[in-house]
Amino acid sequence: MKYTEEIFNILSKGGFISSNSVSTQVKRLYDAIEEDLPDYYDYYKGIGFYLEGGDGYYYFVRKETKVDLERKLEAAQKWIDYLSFLKTYHSAFGPGFLFRAADIEIQIGCDIELKEKAVKLFADKKKFDEVVAKLLKELENMGLIEKENELDGTYKVLTAFHYIEDLIDCITISEEVQNEIPE
């Protein structure tokens, strides 16, 4: 277990470590966790973090108080909006997908629905290039995407993106509650 600090620095900030990362260092961390998962799990559990794995990625979970749960629900709403925007941009947007910021900006100009969603993403951003830049920065900081090619600005969606898709898929609204939602 020689990467405990590096792993903690990424995961404790809400990031992910993905198996299909462009970074050789991140791949090395993923492989280290794979090799010694029980040891890493016990180590982080001792300081209140639970190392969890998905399909090709790892992340931390902590026991939450009610206040933290409400904050997480607000964050889930934000991620629903992000995912809706990204899937409207391209239905295949997911792990392994390659894209450029410029492609999203062009698509916003051509698609009314995408334009409406872009306007709602960030109230403080007025220009679409600013909206796209802020969204990509958030996705990159979380470890959900990485820049694969600096020259042409191509990004790659990492396997950790499944976490967001799975999170949204788990949200169900019962019929009684759905009838109470104003349209």
Sign of CA dihedral 22, 28, 30, 34: positive
Q: What is the DSSP letter of 127?
A: S
How many C-beta atoms surround the C-beta of residue 179 within 10 A? 8
pLDDT in tens, 84-125: 999 999 999 999 999 999 999 999 999 999 999 999 998 888
Quick one: average pLDDT of 51-62? Answer: 91
pLDDT-derived band at 66 (thresholds 50, 70, 90) equals low
pTM: 0.76
CATH code that applies to domain 66-170: 1.10.10
How many C-beta atoms surround the C-beta of residue 4 within 10 A? 13
The C-alpha atoms of residue 150 and residue 157 are separated, in whole angstroms, by 15
The C-alpha atoms of residue 162 and residue 180 are separated, in whole angstroms, by 30
How many C-beta atoms surround the C-beta of residue 23 within 10 A? 14
Per-residue pLDDT at 67: 62
Per-residue pLDDT at 20: 94
Average pLDDT of the residues of the chain = 89
pLDDT in tens, 142-182: 899 999 999 999 999 999 999 888 888 877 554 554 555 55
Per-residue pLDDT at 75: 77
Cβ burial of 127 (10 Å; 0-12, 13-18, 19+) is exposed
Contacts with 19 (C-beta within 8 Å, 6 or more apart), sequence order: 27, 30, 56, 57, 159
The C-alpha atoms of residue 11 and residue 142 are separated, in whole angstroms, by 9
